[in-house]
Amino acid sequence: MTEEHSRLFAPFITPPAEWKNAEDYEFLTFILHAKTDNCLSCGATMHYGDVYRAFGHKNAPPHDSFRRLVPVNFPLPHKVPVVHFSLPPRDVPLCPHCLHSTREGQVTYLVSDEKAWQKALAEARAVQHNLRKTGGETASRPKLSPDDIPG
């Protein structure tokens, strides 16, 4: 990464402030995990990828490959270097292409949009927070139901 890139992406190449000992980590690179799913129901092949910021511990030995990855949710300029990893293809039982044709009338939408997804994540975090506070006992565990999803 050039000095210009470092300056341009400073907010994105610093470790997340909420990390414990965030100052002990340094930005390594952007990483693309290229993935391939093979659907066992319809035979479709899906290619997709996830982009991450990779951080390494400053005191880790050179041969230590331990990294912490943070998903990237902003566009990367074309000149920014990215390390490409092709992950092994995996078989999946269903895919979005054949879900409806193989399960007509049997598909339930619990999470249908970004707003509903954020709500489901918030509920999951609340459950984890309550578990930490109560030491693992679950007095009232919120449960996601189709009635909870707006629209």
Query: In terms of CB distance, is 29 or 41 closer to Zn ion?
Result: 41
Query: In terms of CB distance, is 32 or 99 closer to Zn ion?
Result: 99
Burial (Cβ within 10 Å: 0-12, 13-18, ≥19) of residue 145:
exposed
Burial (Cβ within 10 Å: 0-12, 13-18, ≥19) of residue 4:
exposed
Distance CA 27, CA 56 (A): 7
- For position 41 contacting Zn ion by CB under 5 A, the verdict is yes
- For position 38 contacting Zn ion by CB under 5 A, the verdict is no
- For position 98 contacting Zn ion by CB under 5 A, the verdict is yes
Shortest Cβ distance from residue 36 to Zn ion (Å)?
13
- For position 46 contacting Zn ion by CB under 5 A, the verdict is no
Distance CA 127, CA 144 (A): 11
- For position 60 contacting Zn ion by CB under 5 A, the verdict is no
Binding residues vs Zn ion (CB under 5 A): 39, 41-42, 44, 95, 97-98
